[in-house]
Structure 1
Amino acid sequence: MQQSENDDIPQRMRAVVSYGPEDYRLTDLPVPRPGPGEALLRVAAVGICASDLKCYHGAAKFWGDESRPAWAETEVVPGHEFVGDIVALDDEARARWGVDVGDRVVAEQILPCGQCRYCERGQYWMCAVHDIFGFKRAAMGAMAEYVLLPARSLVHPISASVPPAHAAFAEPLSCALHAVERAGITFDDVVVVAGCGPIGLGMVAGAAAKNPAKVIALDMADDKLALARACGADLTLNINRDDVVGTVRELTGGYGADVYLEGTGHPSAVLQGLNLLRKLGTYVEYSVFGSDVTVDWSIISDDKELDVRGAHLGPHCWPAAIRMIESGRLPLERICTHQLPLDRFQEGLDLVADGSASIKVSLLPR
């Protein structure tokens, strides 16, 4: 193990630990020590997202279905959207990741097993084991002063000149870009993005980068719609005031949108998308839902023959997300609205749950 000469690694650290649904506590833990092929990261920022809320509330309570199994293990440090500085690693880790002590890096949220059917086929983001930082004891998360990067980690350097909260946005942005890739957007497409939260704004930016005919963003908050325009939306519609379906059909000669990207997690947005799309259109779902969604599947089949696709994590999109962040293309100073110290983690969770006063909330452990 090599250690930074200017930073003695302490023995103990502060960390948020999950002891069960709605029982998170700031705890004193030993600083993990990297083994062969591993690295230790001093956390600079960690984001809070909808999946963290799902973990916080517990799957059964989140879904309103007590028959569902636990979605995350207890006595785990949460947090999968993070950036930090390497303070210790060995030659094996240095060679694998091309990084060294002092480098600022982000890591993909999943730690692929490398042995299951999906990993062997290169589909690592659907790994059957599916260890993700912050949900299992095998991959402790980053709501802490330090986080261990196991040898299975997928690590990417990022410029130290990027503010930490902005750099941690690489995780949700890569997810949004993967959804855009799943849509197969072409130059002639009219693309509708539902929801202008962190994922939706990333979808807007990613879709605009594909240079389609038009990108339309939907939300019920005018301030978020303004951000969508700054991210590249050609048109924004407030679903509380505007005739969304009528406007889209008018813009498309009565046909409907070519692509619909759903990023709200609200059941009503699903049917909205099915109604907005033209025949043979493409629907991409990325959200985390808090309840079951029921629709008339004949819209998908008999009426329109839609191409309905899911999207999970951000495979192969991290380099593009990092380039977009480093370029200054996104108004991240307006997207990353709240940065809180670690001991205010509950306030951060509550802000994300409320959704009206924030867009992206991050914790700054140090």
Structure 2
Amino acid sequence: MTTTSTNTAAQGAAEIPERMRAAVLFGPRDIRVVDKEVPVPGPDEVLVKVAMCGMCGTDLKIYDGHFPQTPPYGQYTPGHEWTGTVVACGETVDELAPGDRVCIEAHHGCGRCDNCLVGLYTACLNYGDWKKGHRASGMTADGGFAEYAVHNVASLYKMPENVSFKDAVLITTAGTGLYGLDATGGYIAGDNVVIFGPGPVGLMTVQACKQLGARRVILVGTRASRLEMGRRLGADHVVNAREADVVATVHELTGRGADLVIETSGSTSTPQQCVDVVRRGGRILFVAFYPEPVTFDLSAVVRNDVTMYTTRGEGGNNVKRAVALAEMGRLRGEELVTHEFPLEEIQEALRVMREREGDPLKVVIAF
């Protein structure tokens, strides 16, 4: 393969191929691995050789063509949970250097709107506007289902030596849970917490809640293997919703209901259960996306003076906090990676994830 250095604006550039293999979305459920030009980092960007890119439910929505503000078909490379090694830096970048291993925060706000100025960059008012500087890697901009990816330096984090690439894929996921906890007040020492959904977000949030001093963490789900993983990662109690009355069990364990309920499952029936298990004056956090509108008893929320929160993605600099917790051994991600596929088999990886073949927890594309 012919190689060349990146443009002269990139400092410390290694010999980098002119072209790479990348997955490109050509239409709903039409993703192909093709040759594509290696991107060149701008002044405040970093070029990363991707080591691994995880998949989540959002990727299935993107694959199906049901996610807003993605780039045009035939050009766009998805993938927003990627990690790798820096190979070149833009001319203003001195925070990182070639050879550094990094994980990412998918969202980079414009930095100029009212929301960005107060730190709400995952809710950037210029979301999807390239001219104003917004980027959401793998969502509104090319992402990590490719051999190389570029991202703004402000949304990259240098990884400690004891954190693996498999850990790093889940660090972005952990940032989602930590951002939600941050929004609800952050201080949960002594609280009883119920988490619906033992998927990657739920399982990383279980660990975060225990590290922040929750009295009891109760994990609710429908798949025994995932619930058992949650128990191994620190959940004090697990409830299989197919075998037990969730509401009665939570009230039996907590007395008056949960102080904080976190909904990560994306099931349209779960929000009502959140209302049923939260205590009077408690809090409900929603971090999931739903396939259709959700109905629940809002009057009960008002009568019981319950506060509801929503957060999108891994904002509030919480990926940085997740990196620190992982370095201390307090967040474990690697054991959640259950399936690995090469880039050329990305369609098979998406199928396995959708059909839940082999009980996948975190499916990754590995380079």
Other-structure match for 2:149:
147
Q: Check the 8 A contact 2:11/2:90 in 1, yes or no.
A: yes
Question: CA-to-partner distance for each residue in 1:159-199, whole Å, 9 max, x for gaps?
Answer: 35533222121111110111222333533321100011000
Q: Check the 8 A contact 1:179/1:203 in 2, yes or no.
A: no
CA positional deviation for 1:90: 4.0
Number of residue pairs aligned between Structure 1 and Structure 2: 347
- Point out where structure 1 has 5 or more consecutive residues left out of the alignment: 61-68
TM-score by length of 1: 0.89
Other-structure match for 1:259:
260
Q: Check the 8 A contact 1:46/1:165 in 2, yes or no.
A: no
Q: Check the 8 A contact 1:4/1:102 in 2, yes or no.
A: no
Q: Name the amino acid aligned to 2:23.
A: V
Other-structure match for 2:181:
180
Alignment counterpart, residue 190 of structure 1, candidates 192, 203, 214:
192
Give aligned-pair identity as a percent: 33
CA positional deviation for 1:91: 4.4
Distance 1:347 1:143 in 2: 14
Alignment counterpart, residue 11 of structure 1, candidates 1, 12, 18:
18
Q: Name the amino acid aligned to 2:33.
A: L
Other-structure match for 1:84:
84
> Any idea what SS the aligned residue of 2:218 has?
strand
The residue correspondences of 1:1-366 to structure 2 (distance < 5 A) are 1-3=10-12, 8-59=15-66, 73-74=72-73, 75-94=75-94, 98-130=95-127, 131-136=135-140, 139-150=141-152, 153-184=154-185, 185-253=187-255, 255-302=256-303, 304-315=304-315, 316-355=317-356, 357-364=359-366, 366=367
> Any idea what SS the aligned residue of 1:337 has?
strand
- Point out where structure 2 has 5 or more consecutive residues left out of the alignment: 1-9, 128-134
Q: Check the 8 A contact 1:176/1:202 in 2, yes or no.
A: yes
Q: Check the 8 A contact 1:86/1:102 in 2, yes or no.
A: yes
Q: Name the amino acid aligned to 1:344.
A: E
Distance 1:355 1:299 in 2: 35
Runs of 4+ residues over 6 Å off in structure 1: none
Distance 2:90 2:343 in 1: 29
Distance 2:210 2:239 in 1: 16
TM-score by length of 2: 0.89
Question: CA-to-partner distance for each residue in 1:212-231, whole Å, 9 max, x for gaps?
Answer: 22110111111111111122
